[in-house]
A and B are shown apart, each in its own frame.
Chain A
Amino acid sequence: EIVLTQSPGTLSLSPGERATLSCRASQGVSSSYLAWYQQKPGQAPRLLIHGASNRATGIPDRFSGSGSGTDFTLTISRLEPEDFAVYYCQQYGSSPPHTFGQGTKLEIK
Chain B
Amino acid sequence: EVQLVESGGGLVKPGGSLRLSCAASGFPFSNYNMNWVRQAPGKGLEWVSSISSGGSYIYDADSVKGRFSISRDNAKNSLFLQMNSLRAEDTAVYYCARDTSSGWFAGWGYWGQGTLVTVSS
Contact = CB atoms under 8 A, between A and B. Distances in A.
A associates with B: yes
Interface of A: 1, 32-33, 35, 37, 39, 44-47, 49-51, 54, 56-57, 86, 88, 90, 92, 96-103
Contacts of B113: 44
B45 interface: yes
A92 B45 contact: no
A49 B107 CA distance: 8
Given A49-B107, A50-B109, A57-B109, 8 more contacts: A37-B107, A39-B45, A44-B111, A45-B97, A47-B100, A90-B108, A100-B37, A100-B44
A23 B37 CA distance: 20
The 4 A-B residue pairs whose C-beta atoms are closest, nearest first, are: A50-B107, A44-B111, A35-B107, A96-B59
Interface of B: 35, 37, 44-47, 50, 59-62, 95, 97, 100, 104-109, 111-114
A87 to B, nearest CB: 11
B62 A100 contact: no
Best-surrounded residue of A44, A98, A99 (most CB of chain B within 10 A): A44
Query: How would you classify the secondary structure of chain B's contact residues: helix, strand, loop or mixed?
Result: strand
A82 to B, nearest CB: 18
Contacts of A37: 45, 107-108
27 contacts: A33-B105, A35-B105, A35-B107, A37-B45, A37-B108, A39-B45, A44-B111, A44-B114, A45-B45, A45-B97, A45-B108, A47-B100, A47-B108, A47-B109, A50-B100, A51-B106, A54-B106, A56-B106, A90-B45, A92-B105, A96-B50, A96-B59, A96-B60, A96-B61, A98-B35, A98-B47, A99-B47
Contacts of B107: 35, 37, 47, 49-50, 56, 90, 92
Contacts of B47: 90, 96-100
Contacts of A54: 106
Contact of A97 (B62, B100, B104, B106): B62
Contacts of B104: 32
